[in-house]
Structure 1
Amino acid sequence: MALAAVLSAAGCEGIEFVDPAASASGTSAAQVPADPGSVAKPSKTSIAQAKRSLSAITIKTIPGKDPSYDRDKFGDAWSDAAKGVTYAGNGCDTRNDILRRDAVKGTVRTRNGSSGCKVTAGTWVSPYNGAKYTSTRKIQIDHIVPLGRAWASGAKRWSAARRLAFANDPDNLLAVDGSSNQSKSDKGPSAWRPAKPYQCVYAVRYLRSATKYQLPITSADKSALTSMLNGCPK
């Protein structure tokens, strides 16, 4: 089954899944679309969707660490060739696409002007601690559902193409501060949370990706995500 068909079977609402083979080629970096919905302020619709997803998601025991996990199993880091990924084929690697997407509007500078791929400067507000950063060296690209946890949750049985798509899917990526990313590592929601004001966005985005890729969560994760979603703005 084609990857796009597999993911559409998950029944996610409002998630755009673009097959680059079916779209126009030659998209420039300057044409990378903005992230749908504010990263820092989830909409009431996305919060409601997250709560529905949480009530329907599969609950399963997941090993804390699967010794068979290998980052290389998810393909080349920040590949531009992952089929079905929104920005695939635009000529820029995934890291720079996410740096551009998540930067404060109008602050991004690239090596070759507005059409260049390599982001050299900008301003980012980490959705995990709320701090502002102006150096790309301080920013890392986080897999919201970590690769190691996805592997232990079922990705080890996926095709190589699906793992590559997951590792480069903008729906599962955020530009965050390096300290938060390092502390999070491969932990799930029951073992790691961002600063309290940012737990809602984390929970919404975690459930969005877990549902899209039909990944289970643990009962402890469900309790943690429930708590975080209950703290979302009314």
Structure 2
Amino acid sequence: MLAERDAGREGARSAYVARAAAAAVTALLCAGCGGLGGDVSPTERGTAAPDGRVVSPLDNPDGTKPGLAPVTTDADEAEARDLIKGLATKGRGPKTGYDRDEFGYAWMDTADGVPLARNGCDTRNDLLKLHGRNVRFRSGSDCVVVSMDLYDPYTGKDIAWKKAKAAEVQVDHVVPLSYSWQMGSSRWPEGKREQLANDVLNLIPVDGRTNSAKGDSGPASWLPPDGRIRCAYAVRFAQVALKYEMPVTEADRRVMLRQCGG
């Protein structure tokens, strides 16, 4: 039984790695095809937001495409469950020693090994450009975003955002850094923690109040208010955990499966 479970987890990890690698190759081949804020073809999966740009996490294994579209078909839910079943589980450890600085300074552009690193623009602005519409920049800059329209997948609402009220949009770590610390990142090399904190796969700009309410919760304690997006959220949580070979709690894994029809 244990051998079968381990084989299933290894199969899920291998499938995820292969898919992410293929996405990375595609991104490299298409370098220069368009800006981060440019048009993206609508996804064939799920339901798109009004701008038609959001992409299902099943079609976005490296996080370099905008948005988070719902997982809606039976076939996609089955694929989502297979991914989630590949997660290892363990109990949540203590928070002792956790500090945000253990993951590098906020929104650093120098976390090697993740998409968009060392492009001259900090991680937060990269995320705003990637996910926003009608993006406007500070005069003389092609990096610092001062206004945009954002479709928030967690609440299903559009946000007209301006930098003067920056806190109205926060960049969520899908797998919270404190959660990762309690699940083993306290023993990772510093460089790996910096990757987790700045990897676009683990980052989504969302409504600020909603993100604050989430805190460092796992899926068993917090899910997005919009029920239509919960399976997609579980998939993205699983994608991050698999990429960084990080376990989740058994309760979180069980809730994630339930969101996708399990």
TM range, normalised to the smaller chain?
0.7 to 0.9
Q: 1:139 aligns with which of 169, 179, 195?
A: 169
- TM-score w.r.t. the length of structure 2 is 0.73
Are residue 226 (structure 1) and residue 257 (structure 2) matched? yes
> Where does structure 1 lack aligned partners over 5 or more consecutive residues?
1-9
Distance change >3 Å, CA 84–CA 207, structure 1 → 2: same
1:135 partner SS: strand
Q: Which amino acid aligns with 1:224?
A: V
> Where does structure 2 lack aligned partners over 5 or more consecutive residues?
1-12, 41-63
Q: Structure 1: how far apart are the matches of 2:261 and 2:255?
A: 10
Q: Structure 2: how far apart are the matches of 1:39 and 1:119?
A: 21
Q: CA deviation at 1:193?
A: 0.7
Q: Structure 1: how far apart are the matches of 2:37 and 2:188?
A: 28
Q: Give the equivalent residue in structure 2 for 1:75.
A: 104
1:176 partner SS: strand
2:222 partner SS: coil
Q: Give the equivalent residue in structure 2 for 1:110.
A: 137
Q: 2:85 aligns with which of 51, 55, 58?
A: 55
Q: Structure 2: how far apart are the matches of 1:88 and 1:82?
A: 6
Q: CA deviation at 1:31?
A: 5.0
Q: Which amino acid aligns with 1:201?
A: A
Could you list the runs of 4 or more consecutive aligned residues of structure 1 that deviate by over 6 angstroms after TM superposition? 43-46
Are residue 184 (structure 1) and residue 206 (structure 2) matched? no
Are residue 14 (structure 1) and residue 19 (structure 2) matched? yes
Aligned residues: 213
Q: Which one scores higher on RCO, CA 8 angstroms, separation ≥ 6?
A: 1
Q: Which amino acid aligns with 1:150?
A: S
Q: Give the equivalent residue in structure 2 for 1:99.
A: 128
State the identity %: 36
**Kept in 2: contact 1:110–1:117 (CA 8 A):** yes
**Kept in 2: contact 1:32–1:87 (CA 8 A):** no
**Kept in 1: contact 2:128–2:205 (CA 8 A):** yes
Q: Structure 2: how far apart are the matches of 1:38 and 1:125?
A: 8
